[in-house]
Chain A
């Protein structure tokens, strides 16, 4: 039946995605700030060692005579217990933070999206099987998993990333499955089937590309969250180990001196805070902008 044939509101032709992003950024100062933070973070991740005032200290070389100096013009973020310049440590720390989060989110998407898409598109027994396995992983406490992995493989940033990816992918599988289930009912998928396009091709060409919008939005927000989680693991001693310039590790190291030498924890902590917030803001922005029909 011809239901909802006539929409009450006249559709305006929608501008291109780039123009919409630009307009959204220009009209929303918070979004502009979020994008600026992410651009800055990316720049630091790539060029950090060249930007940092004391790159070798950033990487871990100590300078004991200058230990525990409060913020000054020479050391805007102060120095730590080994006399390393905190500004350099924070700047050089951008690269491992970005690397871990990209690795975790990338792995999680790589595992979760195809599994979820297959489950949602095929339904039936395969769906039940995939989703039970997913539930299993979801039910396993991430912290415990991280401890098991660290115990087995030894501490290290890449092992923390592995632990995070393993506990992260089920969320992508669920999200992908939900979207794939609704895509399955869309007539363009049935149209492809009626033409005789094979299931794998339909998944690859019609289902997965069309469920990427919510996935990308989630991934953007998750990059921030992963930085936070990696920081937490490092804080607990389950992630990066010294002298890696890891923000979470720096917060942990400064913990004992929080009352007197506040700058040890405050600056890396603020870096985490600002970056997580920025990814959340930009994720929301993408949600508004990426929807191809502008129906949300």
Chain B
């Protein structure tokens, strides 16, 4: 088995502000293998966006990496200089964000912005660069290439902008695409098209995707493997089908029981009582203990580590054994 493309190991991030410090990530470890789509799910404030930003070296100024490592294809990314990081971003790692309308500069055309992105990373003859841009746009499902190139961002719909954004992210043929809630601002009909597009491009080009989302339905339809974050820690990770069939962590199960389905009305929705702890860094035991229906004394005393329950299926729960789950 080859080494994973991206491996994040024991990553910890703290926020330092005049109002005090608080923990953003508390030892997050995850891997993205070559050619797979990994879904990173969790609720507001669980650290999923922060993980993406930390990988890219784009943390806000108040955030500090306390420990851990981020390796892309064997190269350590943490601690790189700003210049070296800029070479990685865009060229080796592409990014797609939630709001396509604000990701483009409103005063320039899509074409000039894409040329700028390409020129920043690769020195190509003009004709070749133009060719590359046109091909990528067409591949991203924008067949009216000329119109899109000449358009300003406000002249395109949200769906078209997100396609253009994906095309820009893939322009330099990155190994990894980090997509942060790329469909949250879109209608379901457009969302479905964008998810299919990402899947199709991933299959044809073979890059890997870290897909950050709060939507379990999106994760289920797009990803090969899922990492569930809770309060800045990994709660569970498993192949997608496995996770949805046999969620092991009480938090993952709680989430799944809370989602209303369009495909069949559920009698009652389970809700998770309480709220995410304000600073997980101060918690010795399990971060979910106060909200967990199964909590035992050990949960508050000892932090559960990720344990392998089945091949590729790991959960950070003392009680996540086959017997206790069911």
Residues of A bordering B, CB below 8 Å: 1-15, 23, 27
Contact = CB atoms under 8 A, between A and B. Distances in A.
Interface stretch (B121-129, B179-187, B218-226, B314-322): B179-187
Given A12-B15, A13-B278, A6 B20 contact: no
Contact of B19 (A4, A5, A6, A14): A14
Contacts of B15: 9-10, 12
A11 B63 CA distance: 12
B184 A5 contact: yes
A1 B53 contact: no
B278 A6 contact: no
Contacts of A6: 44, 49, 98, 181, 184, 214
Contacts of A9: 15, 60, 62-63
B250 to A, nearest CB: 23
Contacts of A5: 44, 181, 184, 214
Contacts of A1: 185-187
Contacts of A7: 44
A27 B18 CA distance: 10
Nearest to A9: B60
B113 interface: no
Closest 5 A-B residue pairs measured CB to CB?
A3-B185, A8-B49, A12-B19, A9-B60, A15-B19
A13 B185 contact: no
A10 B43 CA distance: 12
A55 B99 CA distance: 66
Q: Chain A: interface secondary structure?
A: loop
A244 B101 CA distance: 61
Interface residues of B, number: 24
B162 to A, nearest CB: 13
B24 interface: yes
A266 to B, nearest CB: 40
Interface in B41-57: 44-45, 49-50, 53
Most chain A CB inside 10 Å of its own CB: which residue of B15, B17, B18, B181? B18
Contact of A8 (B53, B184, B214, B278): B53
B191 to A, nearest CB: 10
10 contacts: A2-B184, A3-B99, A4-B98, A5-B44, A5-B181, A7-B44, A9-B15, A9-B62, A9-B63, A12-B17
A26 to B, nearest CB: 11
Contact of B24 (A2, A3, A10, A27): A10
B50 A8 contact: yes
Interface string B166-196: 0000000000000001001111000000000
A2 B20 CA distance: 30
Nearest to A27: B18
B50 A23 contact: no
Interface in B40-81: 44-45, 49-50, 53, 60, 62-63
B44 to A, nearest CB: 6
B22 interface: yes
Given A6-B181, A9-B62, 4 more contacts: A5-B214, A6-B214, A11-B45, A15-B19
A11 B259 CA distance: 25
Interface string B5-33: 00000000001011110101000000000
B138 to A, nearest CB: 28
A225 to B, nearest CB: 30
B23 to A, nearest CB: 9
A23 B24 CA distance: 24
B176 to A, nearest CB: 19
Nearest to B214: A6
A279 to B, nearest CB: 24
Given A8-B49, A10-B24, A3 B19 contact: no
A11 B53 CA distance: 16
A2 B218 CA distance: 15
Contact of B18 (A4, A10, A23): A23
Nearest to A14: B19
A1 B20 CA distance: 34
Contacts of A14: 19
Most chain B CB inside 10 Å of its own CB: which residue of A7, A8, A13, A15? A8
B154 to A, nearest CB: 16
B214 A13 contact: no
A14 B22 CA distance: 13
Contacts of A27: 18
Contacts of B181: 5-6
Contacts of A3: 98-99, 184-185
Contacts of B186: 1
Contacts of A4: 98-99, 185
Contact of B45 (A2, A10, A15): A10
Nearest to B158: A1
A27 B17 CA distance: 13
Contacts of B187: 1
Interface in B256-292: 278
A245 B268 CA distance: 78
Contacts of B185: 1-4
Contacts of B98: 3-4, 6
A12 B20 contact: yes
